[in-house]
Amino acid sequence: MITVAKRLEGIGEYYFSQKLREIDALNKSGKNVINLGIGSPDLPPHEDVIKVLQAESAKEDVHAYQGYKGTPVLRNAFSRWYKTWYNVDLDPESEILPLIGSKEGIMHICMTYINEGDRVLVPNPGYPTYRSAAKLAGGTCIDYELTEKNNWYPDFQSLEQLIMKADTPVKLMFVNYPHMPTGQLPTYELFEKIVSFGKKHNILICHDNPYSFILNESPMSLLSVDGAKECVIELNSLSKAQNMAGWRVGMLCGSKERIEEVLRFKSNMDSGMFLPVQIAAAKALTLGKEWYRELNVVYTKRRTFVFDLLKLLKCEFNTNQAGMFVWARVNNKYKNGYELSDEVLNKANVFITPGGIFGAAGENYIRVSLCSNEHKLKESIARINAFQQV
């Protein structure tokens, strides 16, 4: 009998992978489900970025394998982008590693640093991939709970207690601000505390930073804190703010030592990114304030409709969230976010994400994506209103 590896024990198929199949089956049966769950931008990249991809792809000498560290054109573009928007200096030769999407970077980091049984601090609620990647690498996940009462920030007193209770030292900690799924923005003071905590306990801090431009006028990097490179590596992505999710372009930045360590693993996993994609991505990184401003005008309008939808469902929410989602507490009529999500899907043919998929601390919440046009949002409101009238 062929069996799967033990590392897959306790690792299920990614929630949205399963849910998309379920929605597809419902659509084939004639339901016409509106999907307000996934944060996949429905808007295109800038037209100049597409033109660069087209022009570069037509050249004869760009179709070979590429360097494992990415082209200098892209690394230099990332370096200038970090200096322009985050005021962070990065050496493009030694402190930047382009990735085929930042999601793969999470796995690379876990496989590079985690040994069997190593402790990993994972936010609850938080992006499910942190947990699954750490477990696949053999790590033991320790939840640190984020609460609405504490502005979805870590409770550092509780973290100290978790460190003391751990049988073995904590090796790695995932953080993510602006936070997904709650949309909570960071403060510089918070970032200073995270860096101080990492240094004190010799923990590698992995900051996942893909949402800093969406509905946020003050992008921040954890690496902007003095001395952060001693214990911090940061992931970033073109998926959200440049509307390039399907292009799979991300980056890892940090000290020369950290980049070299991760490259030892990554270089055995892939053979580089298509060169025209890298050159087009470099073009995307030159977009100025007007690009981000126009993008956020769209998301601001959409968020107004999502607020109306959530009011219909009698949910509570903060109107100052960043990122491309709205996070909301379900009302007492429902046992949890799963129950509300199922009701809306079954009665209105609208899918919204139950907060429980992000951890137990999210069970009484739902998350609604802003990645649908105004027509779909209006139709979703009409459908929900209709089933509530019955």
Q: What tokens were used for 38? A: 């996934």
173 strand-pairing partners: 121, 205
327 strand-pairing partners: 367
Distance, in Å, from the CA atom of 96 to the CA atom of 87, rounded to the nearest integer, reads 15
* pLDDT per position as a tens digit, 80-133: 999 999 999 999 999 999 999 999 999 999 999 999 989 999 999 999 999 999
Half-sphere exposure for 349 (CA within 13 Å, toward CB): 16
- pLDDT at position 12 over 90: no
Helices (H), the chain: 15-28, 47-57, 72-86, 102-113, 128-136, 156-165, 188-201, 256-266, 275-284, 289-312, 337-348, 374-389
- What's the mean pLDDT in 189-209? 97
* pLDDT per position as a tens digit, 247-300: 999 999 999 999 999 999 999 998 899 999 999 999 999 999 999 999 999 999
CATH topology of domain 6-43+289-389: Aspartate Aminotransferase, domain 1 (3.90.1150)
Percentage of the chain lying above the pLDDT 90 cut: 85
Whole-model pTM?
Answer: 0.93
Q: What tokens were used for 19? A: 């849910």
Percentage of the chain lying above the pLDDT 70 cut: 99
Of 181, 140, 209, 208, nearest in space to 356 by CA: 181
Phi, psi torsion values for 30, nearest 5 degrees: 100, 15
Phi, psi torsion values for 252, nearest 5 degrees: -120, 135
- pLDDT at position 390 over 70: no
Do residues 105 and 252 make contact, with C-beta atoms less than 8 angstroms apart?
yes
Name the pairing type of β-strands 250-253 and 96-99.
antiparallel
Q: 202-236 burial string, b = 16+ CB within 10 Å, else e?
A: ebbbbbbbbbbbbbbeebbbbbbbeebbebbbbbb
The CATH number of 47-284, from 3.40.640.10, 2.40.110.10, 2.40.40.20, 3.30.565.10, is 3.40.640.10
Q: What tokens were used for 157? A: 């007193």
Burial label, 135 (beta-carbon count in 10 A; 0-12, 13-18, 19+): buried
- For tokens 């001693």, the residue is 230
Average pLDDT, the chain: 93
- pLDDT at position 24 over 90: no
235 strand-pairing partners: 208, 252
Of 9, 14, 11, nearest in space to 357 by CA: 14
Q: What tokens were used for 64? A: 């070979």
Would you kindly state where each structural domain of the chain is located, as residue ranges?
A: 6-43+289-389, 47-284
